[in-house]
Amino acid sequence: MLNKDRIRLMAKLAAYEQGQGKEDAPMGKYRRKDYVMLKMIRTFFYATIAFALLFLMDVLYDMEEWFSALYQMEYREYIIQIVAEYLLFLVFFEVVTWFVYNARYKKGYRNQKLYLSRLRKVEKLYEREEKLLPIDEWED
């Protein structure tokens, strides 16, 4: 005998496992603080690489002007300016990362709670069905 409620729940469970569940699964291994920190560390490295590439592209684009200004510039002020720009760049991306992954974790946590709730309902439906049907009448 087919149970329509159980089939609907199982279809929703399977759809979640194949879709959003793949993205939410790593979140279940970490607490929110650890998950967000891991993403922020990753962002630190990517932002550093991106800043270095942008700086290199800027230097290569105006190389002649940059070399002529190199002899006249105050190195200490120039280095302080570059470090300040890097820190602003880094802080911006870290703040964005914190907000984005904090929100994703909250959403993924809610999705996982809903998934587990549906899984418990399916289990209860199976238990109820086992109690109603004797073993001899079970279909293989």
Cα(24)–Cα(11) distance, rounded to whole angstroms?
18
pTM for the model stands at 0.67
pLDDT of residue 135: 57
Of the candidates 126, 102, 123, 119, the one whose C-alpha atom is nearest the C-alpha of residue 21 is 119
Regions of the chain where pLDDT drops below 70: 1-3, 6, 15-17, 19-22, 133-140
| pLDDT at residue 133, rounded to an integer | 64
